[in-house]
A and B are shown apart, each in its own frame.
Chain A
Amino acid sequence: MLTQRQKLVWAVVALSAFCGVVLFAGFFAPYDFAAQDRDMPFAPPTAIHFVDGGGRLQVRPFVYGPRDSSPIPVGAGADSDQPYPLRWFVRGAPYKIAAVFTSRVHLFGVEKPARMFLMGSDGYGRDQFSRFLFGGQISLLAGLIAAIFSVSVGILAGGIAGYYGGWIDEILMRGGELFLALPWLYLLFAVRAALPLHISQWQVFLLLVSVMGLIGWTRPARLIRGVVLSAKERNFVLAARGMGASDAYLLRRHVLPQTYAVLLTQFTLLVPQYVLAEVTLTFLGLGVGEPMPSWGALLTSLQQYSVLSSYWWMFLPALLIIPFFVVFYAAADALQELHKTVPL
């Protein structure tokens, strides 16, 4: 049985690995997320072979290239007898790391005309694996930014409300309830409809993030208010006040540090929640548009019966984001146990 601390360490390691791969998506992905191979829509995951046609074990794993007699039927893979060995550190489509550095080196790849679709291809012949990694950048970033936004507003509102109390508390907390009661899906629909048509992908992204963050600040604010409320009555805080400490000093030095555990737990809980919100909103057509991938966008094609019933590999993105959530919640759980904070 793992202790909570070990559990946390493992969760953080797994999360870092996950985020690292997503951050360096361009390097780990063999193709550009928008590159279409119109000869291979809905190609199943490419089989990687170790044994050639003559039964000999190969040093390099390889894939088979497409047959010359195109077009390949929709939903079928390329299976000629021509082997193309898997190569490491190949040069391919240019990409950017953290929106700054440009590179062309990919971890692995095969020579054209062979294709390496680890998770199959979508209806446009785009590599699902590459799209999953690049899509993670958008989804994770959306979750992180929205969670930071929520928690920051939460500290501000909860801290002030709890510390000062009275009518300030009343206004902030009732205002928060107002936000809780907002039908936020319709709000998002309305905001999207009111904006001009040609807003860029980043503007859509920011809109999504700010609406998610704006809706979600109430819960952390309430929790922080509770902590602040009890913290400000502690003896050492009262003593400091008696010695003439200012409100700002008290808040910064003595009260807010006590909310640290609650904040951290809330944050780890909110990130996956917002990632899921992004997935849902994009699934409903409110997220970033084509050709930008996000985890929600990868799942939208599953709305169609034909895709649902014919191409099983289109489910893979949905399966792959499950471990991400498991790890995130495990981390939140371990954090909470360690700090023995308020229940989730």
Chain B
Amino acid sequence: MGRNRLSRVCLVLLVALSCACSVARGFTAQAGEERMVTEGAPGHAGGRLVIALRSEPKTLNPALALDEPSRDVIRCLTADLIHINRGSLKTEPALAKSWSVSRDGRQYTLQLRHGVRFSDGEPFSADDVTFSFQVYLDDKVDSSQRDLLLVGGKPITVVKVNDFAVRFELAQPYAAAERLFDSIAILPRHLLESGYRAGGFAQAWSLSMPPGQFAGLGPFRLKEYVAGQRVVLERNPYYWKADRAGNQLPYLNEVVFLFVPSEDAQVIRFQSGDTDVLSRFSADNFAVLQKQQSRKGYHLDDLGAGLEYNFLFFNMNDLAAKGLPEIANKQAWFQDLRFRQAVSAAIDREGIVRLVYSGRATPIWDQVTPGNKLWLDEKIARPARSLERARQLLQAAGFSWKSDGALLDARGDHVEFSILTSSSNAQRTKIATIVQDDLSQLGMTVQVVPLEFRAMVDRLTNTYNYEAALMGLVSGDADPTSEMNVWLSSGETHLWHPRQEKPATPWEAEIDRLMQEQLVTLDYAKRKSLYDRVQEIVAEDLPVICLVSPNILVGAANRVGNFRPAILVPYALWNIEQLYVQ
């Protein structure tokens, strides 16, 4: 008890101290502090930025945050060791100022920045790094980052070399090892360790805690949380980045996240000038905003294709033990490559781009979007829509047509199936309606079933009670390693047939081999040719029928300086420490 009280007193003192500090703006760099210099144009200090979130963040605990709003806020509060620059899509030093790799590619030694302090003024050292990784790798914490930190099935080990150097050891060479560290927030040992040891980590850093109990290495720190309304962040006076002119970052005094529950409401708030930055909105709303662009003080950017790919896929699971005879019957069609090819040939991708995205999207034929220039295979065939070819393929596969145009399979059954989509995603429901119309021209009867997202995922990954589904996936990173879970036949997100014990088809076996090989290959050109082959298999064997990749659309008030949106999440706020208001 006594000890507890003491730590509370310490905390109060610390809070008082940090308040006192924040009065004096712009700390002068202390002796030995190694600040990172950013390339953006120097801006003005002060001001606030208002941004809308779709919902309240569920938590501020980086190890437990799963929802996008939580992650958006946490990104502003924390920092990682090595960071992927959203502008260049390449890695850059962050809390680690440099690193070296052993010859066998299995040991990474990171040199940490000296003199860095948490937002409560406590110094940062290698102990914080080892503590953080201990937490993320802990089974009991069950963090979402844990999967990323398993290399070759084994957790990476973290060894403290000295106070400002740590060594990471990997079970096998790992091509994208540097990219692993991105978005792994370093936690303050001095605040969280006692709670973690006592087994209370899951309760740590909920939104309702007093702001003083939170400290991170990000450009901002927590100031206020008003339930149902907003989260307010204030400038972290100890932040470790500076601009070219030597001014300490961030420029902004405050960042306010408002909770605005729907996209349309967010668009209206942005249009009226209530919020300063807008991302994740539809092409339809882009067009609405564009009409008033010149009159109101904002501008919009269409960044071109992002990393999201939308696709149609069929249920290819082994349904023998599932008691779904009707679906199992239809799998005879789904498993026939010519059937899938006919579906792919019949879908009007250009029409989808036009009707659903008002032209602000790109048709795709495999999973790598044109936005991912480093990994796109240019040689993939991109055949135009052809109902004639689709009919030939179906005929060759033994299908025939009744006099009224209805498609019959070899057994004489009418081809009829349903497509699941998420009811909360208007675009995907619209795509499904277009696909429905396209396939009706081949004589197929297709029903579109919009379902609540979680109910849909449950059907896709647990009960397998579906026939076809329309989904979209957004790669977290441009690198193919972020897609391992999708393409490995044992993967959880291998949507059409997840968690296979051994690959069900020869081409899935080949994808497995290629993906595993690119994972341990360190040479980019070799990896590229391996991943090109994966794309070719996807385009030929069509486990998923890729349709479109929507463009990344963002908007910002004209007064926001250094606004450089990118195609990686978070699209607009990745350089929030450099944003300023004029």
Contact of A38 with B348 in the complex, beta carbons under 8 Å: yes
Tell which of A34, A75, A305 has the most Cβ of chain B within 10 Å.
A305
Flag A187-205 by CB within 8 Å of B: 1 or 0 each. Answer: 0000001000110100000
Q: How many residues of chain B have a CB within 8 Å of chain A?
A: 34
A123 with B282, Cβ < 8 A, contacts A38-B348, A198-B418, A306-B287 known: no
Residues of A within 8 A of B420 (CB): 197
Residues of A within 8 A of B510 (CB): none
Bound CA–CA A52/B348 (angstroms):
37
Which A-chain residue is minimally distant from B426 (CB atoms)?
A304
> Is B56 in contact with chain A by the CB < 8 A criterion?
no
Question: Which residue of A123, A193, A307 is within 8 Å of B355 (Cβ)?
Answer: A123
Contact of B448 with A304 in the complex, beta carbons under 8 Å: no
Question: Which residue of B264, B355, B440, B455 is within 8 Å of A41 (Cβ)?
Answer: B355
Contact of A290 with B288 in the complex, beta carbons under 8 Å: no
Interface residues of B in 328-363 (CB under 8 A from A): 348, 351, 354-355, 358-359
Contact of B448 with A290 in the complex, beta carbons under 8 Å: yes
A291 with B436, Cβ < 8 A, contacts A74-B358, A305-B264 known: yes
Residues of A within 8 A of B417 (CB): 198
A124 with B434, Cβ < 8 A, contacts A197-B420, A304-B264 known: yes
> Is B267 in contact with chain A by the CB < 8 A criterion?
yes
> Is A36 in contact with chain B by the CB < 8 A criterion?
yes
Tell which of B359, B433, B455 has the most Cβ of chain A within 10 Å.
B433
Residues of A within 8 A of B423 (CB): 285
> Is A175 in contact with chain B by the CB < 8 A criterion?
no
Interface residue range, chain A: 20 to 34
Bound CA–CA A289/B436 (angstroms):
11
Flag B422-440 by CB within 8 Å of A: 1 or 0 each. Answer: 0100100010011011001
> Is A310 in contact with chain B by the CB < 8 A criterion?
yes
Bound CA–CA A331/B409 (angstroms):
53
Residues of B within 8 A of A36 (CB): 434, 437
Contact of B355 with A306 in the complex, beta carbons under 8 Å: no
Bound CA–CA A291/B417 (angstroms):
15
> Is A3 in contact with chain B by the CB < 8 A criterion?
no
Contact of A310 with B288 in the complex, beta carbons under 8 Å: yes
Q: Give B384 Cβ to nearest chain A Cβ, in Å.
A: 14
> Is B268 in contact with chain A by the CB < 8 A criterion?
yes
Question: Which residue of B264, B430, B450, B455 is within 8 Å of A285 (Cβ)?
Answer: B450
Residues of A within 8 A of B447 (CB): 197-198, 200, 289
Bound CA–CA A34/B348 (angstroms):
16
Contact of A290 with B284 in the complex, beta carbons under 8 Å: no
Bound CA–CA A200/B447 (angstroms):
8
A197 with B466, Cβ < 8 A, contacts A123-B430, A291-B433 known: yes
> Is A54 in contact with chain B by the CB < 8 A criterion?
no
A197 with B433, Cβ < 8 A, contacts A125-B355, A309-B288 known: no
> Is B449 in contact with chain A by the CB < 8 A criterion?
yes
Contact of A38 with B355 in the complex, beta carbons under 8 Å: yes
Bound CA–CA A309/B359 (angstroms):
20
> Is A20 in contact with chain B by the CB < 8 A criterion?
no
Interface residues of A in 189-232 (CB under 8 A from B): 193, 197-198, 200
A306 with B433, Cβ < 8 A, contacts A41-B354, A74-B358, A290-B448 known: no
> Is B285 in contact with chain A by the CB < 8 A criterion?
yes
Contact of B354 with A306 in the complex, beta carbons under 8 Å: no
Contact of B433 with A290 in the complex, beta carbons under 8 Å: yes
Contact of A306 with B284 in the complex, beta carbons under 8 Å: yes
Contact of A305 with B449 in the complex, beta carbons under 8 Å: no
Question: Which residue of A123, A125, A305 is within 8 Å of B288 (Cβ)?
Answer: A305
Interface residues of A in 292-340 (CB under 8 A from B): 304-307, 309-310
Residues of B within 8 A of A200 (CB): 447
Q: Give A256 Cβ to nearest chain B Cβ, in Å.
A: 43
Interface residues of B in 375-418 (CB under 8 A from A): 416-418
Contact of B287 with A74 in the complex, beta carbons under 8 Å: yes
Contact of A124 with B355 in the complex, beta carbons under 8 Å: yes
Residues of B within 8 A of A306 (CB): 264, 282, 284-285, 287-288
> Is A55 in contact with chain B by the CB < 8 A criterion?
no
Flag A105-131 by CB within 8 Å of B: 1 or 0 each. Answer: 000000000000000000111000000
Bound CA–CA A197/B450 (angstroms):
10
Which B-chain residue is minimally distant from A38 (CB atoms)?
B351
Q: Give B446 Cβ to nearest chain A Cβ, in Å.
A: 10
> Is A343 in contact with chain B by the CB < 8 A criterion?
no
Which A-chain residue is minimally distant from B267 (CB atoms)?
A305
Bound CA–CA A198/B329 (angstroms):
15
Residues of B within 8 A of A307 (CB): 284
Q: Give B547 Cβ to nearest chain A Cβ, in Å.
A: 15
> Is B467 in contact with chain A by the CB < 8 A criterion?
yes
Which B-chain residue is minimally distant from A198 (CB atoms)?
B418
Bound CA–CA A200/B465 (angstroms):
17
Contact of B430 with A289 in the complex, beta carbons under 8 Å: no
Which A-chain residue is minimally distant from B358 (CB atoms)?
A74
Contact of B284 with A197 in the complex, beta carbons under 8 Å: no
Q: Give B58 Cβ to nearest chain A Cβ, in Å.
A: 25
Residues of A within 8 A of B354 (CB): 38, 41, 71, 74
Residues of A within 8 A of B287 (CB): 74-75, 306, 310
Tell which of A123, A197, A285, A310 has the most Cβ of chain B within 10 Å.
A197
Interface residues of A in 78-133 (CB under 8 A from B): 123-125
Which B-chain residue is minimally distant from A75 (CB atoms)?
B287
Bound CA–CA A173/B440 (angstroms):
49
Contact of B284 with A304 in the complex, beta carbons under 8 Å: yes
Q: Give B515 Cβ to nearest chain A Cβ, in Å.
A: 32
Bound CA–CA A289/B449 (angstroms):
8
Bound CA–CA A291/B354 (angstroms):
19
Residues of B within 8 A of A193 (CB): 455
Bound CA–CA A305/B285 (angstroms):
7
Bound CA–CA A36/B351 (angstroms):
10
Question: Which residue of B348, B358, B426, B437 is within 8 Å of A291 (Cβ)?
Answer: B437
Residues of A within 8 A of B267 (CB): 305
Bound CA–CA A41/B433 (angstroms):
14
Bound CA–CA A37/B487 (angstroms):
37
Interface residues of B in 272-331 (CB under 8 A from A): 282, 284-285, 287-288
Which A-chain residue is minimally distant from B466 (CB atoms)?
A197
Bound CA–CA A41/B420 (angstroms):
24
Residues of B within 8 A of A124 (CB): 355, 430, 433-434, 437
Bound CA–CA A275/B417 (angstroms):
30
Bound CA–CA A123/B429 (angstroms):
12
Bound CA–CA A200/B267 (angstroms):
37
Bound CA–CA A103/B466 (angstroms):
37
Flag A216-260 by CB within 8 Å of B: 1 or 0 each. Answer: 000000000000000000000000000000000000000000000
Flag A18-46 by CB within 8 Å of B: 1 or 0 each. Answer: 00000000000000001010100100000
Which B-chain residue is minimally distant from A124 (CB atoms)?
B355
Interface residues of B in 241-285 (CB under 8 A from A): 264, 267-268, 282, 284-285
Q: Give B432 Cβ to nearest chain A Cβ, in Å.
A: 8
Bound CA–CA A38/B354 (angstroms):
8
Which A-chain residue is minimally distant from B286 (CB atoms)?
A306
Bound CA–CA A291/B416 (angstroms):
15
Bound CA–CA A124/B438 (angstroms):
12
Residues of B within 8 A of A34 (CB): 437, 440
Residues of A within 8 A of B285 (CB): 305-306
Bound CA–CA A41/B354 (angstroms):
9
Q: Give B243 Cβ to nearest chain A Cβ, in Å.
A: 38
Q: Give B353 Cβ to nearest chain A Cβ, in Å.
A: 10
Q: Give B378 Cβ to nearest chain A Cβ, in Å.
A: 26
5 contacts between A and B (CB under 8 A): A289-B448, A290-B433, A304-B426, A306-B264, A306-B284
A residues whose Cβ falls under 8 Å from a Cβ of B: 34, 36, 38, 41, 71, 74-75, 123-125, 193, 197-198, 200, 285, 289-291, 304-307, 309-310
- The 3 A-B pairs of least Cβ separation, nearest first, read A306-B284, A305-B264, A198-B418
| Known interface pairs A197-B420, A197-B465; 13 further A-B residue pairs with C-beta atoms within 8 A, sorted by A's residue number | A36-B434, A38-B348, A71-B354, A71-B359, A124-B434, A198-B449, A198-B467, A305-B264, A306-B282, A306-B284, A306-B285, A306-B287, A307-B284
